[in-house]
Amino acid sequence: MSKENICIVYGGKSAEHDVSILTAQSVINAMDKDIYNIDIIYITNDGEWIKGQPITEPIEDAEVLRLAKRDETPITHLLRQSTNGGTYDTIFPLLHGPNGEDGTIQGLFEVLDLPYVGNGVLSASSSMDKLVMKQLFANRGLPQLPYVSFLRSEFEKYRSNIIELVNTKLEYPVFVKPANLGSSVGISRCTNKEELIKGIEEALQFDRKLVVEQGVEAREIEVAVLGNDYPETTLPGEVVKDVSFYDYKAKYKDGNVKLQIPADLPEDVAETLRNMAVEAFKATDCSGLVRADFFVTEDHTIYINETNAMPGFTKFSMYPLLWKNMDMSYSELITRLIELAKERYADKKKIKYKMD
């Protein structure tokens, strides 16, 4: 049987560039190289696309994935032809943050009529924008914590009013979040007005739109979702922290967290979380993969926090470990995602684009 041609696209013009490289290393190493021909395309921090040599062996050091050789080949050609001369069966984007999981690169794949892993334009963009996501969740009846949202220009013009609004509507601690970033980049936990102002100024370096959300004393529970029209879910897992806030450093550098899989929850609460994860998946018309994140209080009140349409696949990541608990290996999970991408592409081919 001939191998399938897969192209891994990673890096990107995003604050989550380094996370993407780590994710790419993990996925490349887990892919079955007896089944797939693996090409790589690295997008630099400046947005330049560079195609590397085919990958036939595990990547021991993620730094080798920071390709430096300049490539003058047009992007469209890079994506249309594999290094062995054939076309790609599937593009596998492993890009986090803006220009990667926000629908922009998905739009490029759509225009080029290429099958690709993960969420489409609408689902990617709406899952990336925390404010739009919250509005869609509210429309679906999913319970959420109170929040305040505003633009950079509004903060510059109405600074004192916005600070007063946050202090009136919410109680400390609050979390300040860039609307369009993940991996806890630019997020601050604030316990007073001074920290709030500092957190807002920090977050505005990463996005023009912010969400300030009510903090809550709760467990952080996550559910992995996999599929297209009929998604499946895992049992919930819990992020058990040794730190007060599960930030970027804790996630990707220190490893100061423990993932308890499955989470110690009553059966009915776990089932509710799984059902809510599917509702969140459908709320943003997702496909392929999503990780749904929740807060669960001591009395088992549930609040949905967010969905991540491109969860990381590093050795610290919850998503593949949740599926491992369901007896799906990392390699099998990647194969399943590629199959789902081809399934969705075949389904889209049924759409008519011209009248008879």
Q: Which residue numbers belong to the known binding site for ATP?
A: 130, 175-177, 183-184, 213-220, 305-306
Closest CA to 162 of 205, 201, 133, 124: 201
- Find the catalytic residue in 20, 26, 82, 317: 317
Q: How far apart are CA 298 and CA 310, in angstroms?
A: 29
Please say if 287 is a catalytic residue: no
Q: Which residue has the tokens 């081809």?
A: 342
Please say if 244 is a catalytic residue: no
* Rounded alpha-carbon distances, angstroms, from residue 36 to 196, 208, 280, 309, 314: 49, 40, 32, 24, 21
Residues contacting residue 28 through CB under 8 Å, at least 6 positions apart: 8, 38, 40, 55, 58, 59
- Find the catalytic residue in 16, 101, 222, 238: 16
Please say if 183 is a catalytic residue: yes
36 dihedral zone (left: phi>0; alpha: psi -120 to 50; beta) = beta
- Find the catalytic residue in 26, 125, 183, 287: 183
Q: Which residue has the tokens 């690709």?
A: 116
User: What phi, psi does 238 have (nearest 5°)?
Assistant: -120, 140
Which residues carry a binding-site annotation for Mg(2+)?
293, 306, 308
Which residues carry a binding-site annotation?
130, 175-177, 183-184, 213-220, 293, 305-306, 308
* Rounded alpha-carbon distances, angstroms, from residue 6 to 41, 201, 249, 266, 283: 11, 41, 31, 41, 30
Instruction: Determine the 3-state secondary structure of 212 from DSSP.
Output: strand
**174, HSE (Cβ side, Cα atoms, 13 Å):** 29
- Total residue count of the chain as it appears in this document: 356
Q: How far apart are CA 267 and CA 80, in angstroms?
A: 48
Angle between helical axes of 17-30 and 330-348 (0-180°, round to 10): 100
Catalytic site positions: 16, 183, 317
